[in-house]
Amino acid sequence: MSLPENLRNRLCDLLGDRLSEGAADRDHHAQSESFHRAPPPDAVAWPETTQEVSAILAACDEVGVPVIAWGAGTSLEGHALAVRGGLTLDFGRMDRVLEVRPEDMTVSIQPGVTREALNQELRATGLFFSVDPGANASLGGMAATRASGTTAVRYGTMRDNVLALEVVLADGRIIRTGTRAAKSSAGYDLTALFVGSEGTLGIITELTLRLHGQPEQVAAAVCAFDDLDRAVECVSTTIQSGIPMARIEFVDAATARAFNGYAGASLPELPHLMVEFHGSPGAVREDAERFGEIAADYGAKGFDWATTPEDRARLWRMRHGAYHACLSLRPGASGVLTDICVPMSELPAAVHAAAEDIAANGFIGPIVGHVGDGNFHSILLVDPGDEAEVARAKEVAFRMAERALAVGGTITGEHGVGLGKRALMPAQHGEAWQVMGAIKAALDPRDTLNPGKLVPDRN
């Protein structure tokens, strides 16, 4: 497929060499961090302004050419793959921090700003942006997928940290949602609707984010447990006790092995918790002590405190590298990723059942998770060329999702729907999935925006 002649001419006039139909550019935008694959888009554009995005969308909508937004390409579910061809909008050139307002603890940015670039920019303000999915994702992409990560247990997800958006609709209209005030009751919460809509309702061209004060004191530690159940039960008890954990991450024995081999760690091959405390010196001491007592009840051992910023950076870099470390456990493998999230009381049973199913099916499938939210992942290592094996891994993943739904949980805690979870949407939402489809049809009547994703196919 290629762009219709008329559209190509309009876009060329608008963008010049910021429109590419070259194979390398197109192929680059067909890449995916996970095993999802799709043909490349017909073309790639690098807009620089909201007005350009508006003109592009209006032009594509007129002739029915799909438009897919692309941030940093770190999606794990193939969100930004052009499954029906069309034009990929790469936001790499809309990466400016527009305004930091330290007194309001907010910042306005363009969607191509990455998480790390934003925090670099904020360094001198005493503030930071909290949502931390590990990958150096773009903030536009993080909003579009309602990302979260290790600190969500304390500071919330993108749902909680996006105050306002500028969005371009399918027909090119530009709207603003939300305000810079801390709260508002002025009608439908369009901000929350666009956060997590995965580029299917509109394209985000500006975000206003909530910031947090850098904690006065930070302490982090890793500790080991004799078995998975005791580690996870320790998490449930800790959360239920109300200790305001800044991070509480679980990694299983296989992940510890992967860290040792891939990241040069020297952890016992046991399940671990990785924890962090934020607050005043007194509060951090109090919280760490209370956690230590609970952990001791579950037989925690080998407490290793990361006392310097460098030690902590190393600890969390290791945690954030878990996906790639785990892939190294089976050279050449791809990962079928699960991402369920369950109510806290159901967490120990859910992790236990997942581990049993993985073992019973003979997979290497390390389990890691933001367990303070009840969210965990297994990385089922598969030979991407072995269709039968991939299918079997997907069955394990499907059963995990089914069990999550059976106890009131969700098929995706943070990765989003993309290609990987769409087949599970009817099971999770029932008739509400049709409601999502009705909203999509109302806002994007020609199905221009990231078609083939999230909502039911049109009749």
Binding residues among 297-356 for its own copies as defined by CB under 8 A: 339, 341-346
Q: Closest separation between CB of residue 186 and its own copies, Å?
A: 5
Please tell me whether residue 75 binds its own copies under the rule CB under 8 A.
Answer: no
Please tell me whether residue 109 binds its own copies under the rule CB under 8 A.
Answer: no
Please tell me whether residue 406 binds its own copies under the rule CB under 8 A.
Answer: no
Please tell me whether residue 432 binds its own copies under the rule CB under 8 A.
Answer: yes
For its own copies, the closer of residues 7 and 195 by Cβ is: 195
167 exposed, middle or buried (CB, 10 Å; 0-12, 13-18, 19+)? Answer: buried
Please tell me whether residue 373 binds its own copies under the rule CB under 8 A.
Answer: yes
Q: Which amino acid is at 263?
A: A
- The Cα 406–Cα 403 span in angstroms is 5
Handedness of CA 390, 396, 400, 401 (dihedral sign): positive
103 exposed, middle or buried (CB, 10 Å; 0-12, 13-18, 19+)? Answer: exposed
Per CB under 8 A, the list member of 71, 140, 416, 451 interacting with its own copies is 416
- By CB under 8 A, the residues from 273 to 292 that bind its own copies are 280, 282-283, 286
Q: Can you name the residues that pair with 168 across neighbouring β-strands?
A: 174, 203
- Find the part of the chain contacting its own copies (CB under 8 A) among 85-93, 96-104, 298-306, 325-333: 96-104
Per CB under 8 A, the list member of 41, 78, 111, 374 interacting with its own copies is 374
- The Cα 197–Cα 189 span in angstroms is 13
Q: Closest separation between CB of residue 388 and its own copies, Å?
A: 28
Rg (CA), the chain: 22
- H-run or E-run covering 316: helix 309-320
Q: Which residues contact 224 (CB under 8 A, 6 or more apart)?
A: 256, 267, 268, 270, 271, 272, 300, 301, 302
Q: Can you name the residues that pair with 304 across neighbouring β-strands?
A: 222
Is the CB of residue 236 less than 8 Å from the CB of residue 213? no
Please tell me whether residue 421 binds its own copies under the rule CB under 8 A.
Answer: yes
Please tell me whether residue 408 binds its own copies under the rule CB under 8 A.
Answer: yes
Please tell me whether residue 143 binds its own copies under the rule CB under 8 A.
Answer: no
Please tell me whether residue 435 binds its own copies under the rule CB under 8 A.
Answer: yes
Per CB under 8 A, the list member of 20, 74, 138, 236 interacting with its own copies is 236
Please tell me whether residue 429 binds its own copies under the rule CB under 8 A.
Answer: yes
Please tell me whether residue 57 binds its own copies under the rule CB under 8 A.
Answer: no
Q: Closest separation between CB of residue 99 and its own copies, Å?
A: 11
Pairing between strand 367-370 and 247-251? Answer: antiparallel
For its own copies, the closer of residues 272 and 370 by Cβ is: 370
For its own copies, the closer of residues 20 and 200 by Cβ is: 200
Per CB under 8 A, the list member of 52, 95, 252, 414 interacting with its own copies is 414
Q: Closest separation between CB of residue 165 and its own copies, Å?
A: 10
- Which of these, 382, 246, 379, 363, lies nearest to 321 by C-alpha position? 379
- By CB under 8 A, the residues from 161 to 190 that bind its own copies are 169, 173-177, 179-190
